[in-house]
Amino acid sequence: MLKTPLPLGSTIGILGDGQLGRMLSQAASRLGFKVVTFGPDVGSPAAQVSLASKVAAYTDEAVLARLAESCDVITFEFENVPAASLDFLTGKGAVVAPSSKALRITQDRILEKDFARNAGVWTVDYFPIDSVEDLGNAISEHGPGFESALLKTRREGYDGKGQIWIRKGDDIEKAYASLGHRPAILESKASFTREISVVAARGWNGEIKTFPIGENHHVGGILSTTLAPAQVSEAVTAEAHEIARKVLEGLDYVGVLAVELFVLPGDELVLNEIAPRVHNSGHWTQDGCLCDQFEQHIRAVAGWPLGDTSARCTVEMTNLLGADILDWPTLAAEPQSRLYVYGKDEPRAGRKMGHINRIK
């Protein structure tokens, strides 16, 4: 635990070297911190803007030990960092936030939904799947009215990867084989009217602040746009913020996370997933709030007071995937917009190369 706020000039370590690490590093630098990134790629988006970078596998204990010695606090930018690596860092005396407990729960979809139910947060019905037989039994439990359900790997998988819809009459053995026969979860279909997310932060002292709600639209399983603040009722806003509080406190979480929610008819909310990190749907805060999600995360893990999360304007964030980034001259010329480029060298199809925030 961090007992006193980090002074200016302290060093923050970031496990992960992608665009989220890049924007965290930029926010930390603006607040007067030094940043050391840790990841497997040379010349990564995060390393390009950081004081130093350590290039190694996340399980390399020799390099992890050096990171622990050189940093005043260590955080991470994505949920596929091994929780055991955080345990190792803690064992070496490093201050780590969020904790390995929070990561371990949220990187496993069964543990995550079990946690949510125990915290009083509703989810869709779900079934652990470890075999084709499990899958057949889970479908049977849906009853004769079964039409479709979503099969996902328990761990990893994002942007539509590691998941497949199973519909009535499908070959379930083929469906399970498409995920490599990995441990999975079958989730009942949610008949939602819209998808929203709430990005929130908690400090070492238990202080919590939530950002306004964002409404998300996906294309091909990848987030396409987020509009915020979303046009939702006060009741939905209040319930979403309460769900975020339950998650933050239940995980004893320090830092920023995102809670993805389905809005059902009648404005009931159902948890979709928890992201234990800054989140794509929170990018709008860079131009919509005085304190954006990246600065907020740095403030939280550094023990600083949390920043103002009120919206200054309405923003539509659009992801730039693959060749979209090649249109940067036109995008950069748009009025009332800000372009963010991640520094990736190859604009592959579906790869997040940047985003643009448009003020509405």
- Tell me the one-letter amino acid at 209: K
What CATH number does the domain containing 176 carry? 3.30.1490.20
Let me know whether 205 and 271 are in one domain.
Answer: yes
Mean pLDDT, rounded, for 50-67: 97
Considering 127-131, 160-164, 247-251, the range whose residues carry the highest mean pLDDT is 247-251
Mean pLDDT, rounded, for 120-136: 93
For 186-245, write each residue's pLDDT tens digit. Answer: 999 888 999 999 999 999 999 999 999 999 999 988 999 999 999 999 999 999 999 999
Q: Residue 12's pLDDT band (boundaries 50, 70, 90)?
A: very high
In a domain, 1, yes or no: no
Nearest CA-CA partner of 273 in 152, 142, 355: 152
Nearest CA-CA partner of 139 in 176, 93, 105, 87: 176
Let me know whether 211 and 260 are in one domain.
Answer: yes
Q: What are phi and psi of 34, to 5 degrees?
A: -95, 150
Among candidate residues 188, 214, 234, the one where a domain is terminated: 188
Among candidate residues 96, 115, 138, the one where a domain is terminated: 96
Let me know whether 203 and 177 are in one domain.
Answer: no
What is the domain count for the chain?
3
More confident residue, 270 or 142: 270
- Contacts of 244 by beta carbon, 8 Å cutoff, 6+ apart: 198, 200, 208, 210, 257, 259
Q: Domain limits at 132?
A: 125-188
In a domain, 131, yes or no: yes
In a domain, 110, yes or no: no
Please give the mean pLDDT across all residues of the chain. 95
In a domain, 23, yes or no: yes
Among candidate residues 156, 188, 220, the one where a domain is terminated: 188
The number of residues making up the chain comes to: 360
| 3-class SS letters over the chain | CCCCCCCCCCEEEEECCCHHHHHHHHHHHHCCCEEEEEECCCCCCCHHHCCEEEECCCCCHHHHHHHHHHCCEEEECCCCCCHHHHHHHHHCCCCECCCHHHHHHHCCHHHHHHHHHHCCCCECCEEEECCHHHHHHHHHHCCCCCCEEEEEECCCCCCCCCEEEEECCCCHHHHHHHCCCCCEEEEECCCCCEEEEEEEEECCCCCEEECCCEEEEEECCEEEEEEECCCCCHHHHHHHHHHHHHHHHHCCCCEEEEEEEEECCCCCEEEEEEECCCCHHHCCHHHHECCCHHHHHHHHHCCCCCCCCCECCCEEEEEEEHHHHHHHHHHHCCCCEEEEECCCCCCCCCCEEEEEEEEC
The torsion region of residue 162 among left (phi > 0), alpha (psi -120 to 50) and beta comes to: left
Let me know whether 198 and 296 are in one domain.
Answer: yes
pLDDT for 221 equals 85
Q: Is the pLDDT of residue 159 over 80?
A: no
For 300-335, write each residue's pLDDT tens digit. Answer: 999 999 999 999 999 999 999 999 999 999 999 999
Let me know whether 181 and 200 are in one domain.
Answer: no
Let me know whether 73 and 139 are in one domain.
Answer: no
Let me know whether 206 and 355 are in one domain.
Answer: yes
What CATH number does the domain containing 328 carry? 3.30.470.20
For 261-275, write each residue's pLDDT tens digit. Answer: 999 999 999 999 999
pLDDT for 160 equals 63
Let me know whether 333 and 240 are in one domain.
Answer: yes
Let me know whether 326 and 212 are in one domain.
Answer: yes
pLDDT for 156 equals 82
In a domain, 118, yes or no: no
In a domain, 274, yes or no: yes
What CATH number does the domain containing 38 carry? 3.40.50.20
In a domain, 116, yes or no: no
Q: Is the pLDDT of residue 146 over 80?
A: no
Give me 118's structure tokens.
Answer: 């125990």
Let me know whether 247 and 165 are in one domain.
Answer: no
pLDDT for 162 equals 83
Let me know whether 308 and 202 are in one domain.
Answer: yes
pLDDT for 145 equals 62
The C-alpha R_g of the chain, in whole angstroms, comes to: 20
pLDDT for 171 equals 82
For 243-295, write each residue's pLDDT tens digit. Answer: 999 999 999 999 999 999 999 999 999 999 999 999 999 999 999 999 999 99
In a domain, 111, yes or no: no
Let me know whether 340 and 218 are in one domain.
Answer: yes
